[in-house]
Amino acid sequence: MNDDARVAIYYAPRADDPLAVAAANWLGRDAETNAPCRQPDLPDMLAITADPRGYAFHATLKPPMRLAAGRDWFALVEAAAKLAGRIAPFELPRLAVSDVHGFLALRETAPCPALQALADRCVSELDAFRLPPDEAELARRRRAKLSAEQDEMLVRWGYPYVFRTWFFHMTLTRRLSEAEKAIYFPAAEAWFAEAIRVPRVVSDLCLFAQAGPGAPFTLAERIPLRG
């Protein structure tokens, strides 16, 4: 991987899951093949979904990172496989479309300690692979007016939303105005209604890669949980 490449550990539904199909069409891109998909006929849909389309449909477990000096992709895959070998698959609570600080996302409808534990372990046990952020990145993150706790997480773990400040979400849109929300919230509920009724299990870790700034994140490795 080149110096500008980033990797992330995500939860993402398998290709044969109706949720993966619905999300690829909603966002306009299949994260496994990188192929474009036909989106629903809604105004400005391409722009509304531009940000989540680039990051791919997912829930973040270990946030995007550049690899530290002396670390490579193959060692990361090996370490992630060892971690996955110690974690058992678990049921994902039913999802629902939610308003998350102005953007739309799918969130779980019931507490799931196993989700939090999975994210915590990905952050802590794979952290040796992370290149710490430089001052420019720290300054950019801090423009979001972080709380003291979030800033503490940023300095220690390179990202403000981990451990106590992490929450599961699968982003569907950019931040919306109230007028836009009145259009896209019910549209998203209708679009995903059938897919989210299907029970699903978190059964693997997904390693996504980004070749460089502005490039899309694509699925590079799916590692089964085997604990």
What CATH number should be reported for the domain holding residue 95?
A: 3.90.1140.10
Q: How far, CA to CA in Å, does 143 sit from each of 76, 88, 163, 214?
A: 31, 38, 21, 20
Instruction: Output the pLDDT for position 4.
Output: 84
CA atoms of 180 and 44, how far apart (whole Å): 10
Instruction: Output the pLDDT for position 2.
Output: 78
Structural domains in the chain (count): 1
3-state secondary structure of 99: strand
Nearest Cα neighbor of 173 from 197, 149, 189, 151 is 189
In a domain, 154, yes or no: no
In a domain, 77, yes or no: yes
Q: What is the mean pLDDT of each run of 10 residues along the chain (227 residues)?
A: 89 96 98 95 97 97 95 96 98 97 96 96 97 90 90 92 95 97 98 97 98 95 96
Residues whose CB is less than 8 angstroms from the CB of residue 7 and which lie 6 or more positions away in sequence, other chains included? 1, 64, 65, 67, 73, 76, 129, 207, 208, 209, 210, 220
In a domain, 173, yes or no: yes
Instruction: Output the pLDDT for position 198.
Output: 94
CA atoms of 9 and 63, how far apart (whole Å): 7
Instruction: Output the pLDDT for position 61.
Output: 98
In a domain, 145, yes or no: no
In a domain, 34, yes or no: yes
Domain that holds residue 183: 6-132+168-217
In a domain, 70, yes or no: yes
Instruction: Output the pLDDT for position 223.
Output: 98
In a domain, 151, yes or no: no
Instruction: Output the pLDDT for position 158.
Output: 92
CB count within 10 Å of CB 107 equals: 17
Helix (H) or strand (E) holding 31: none
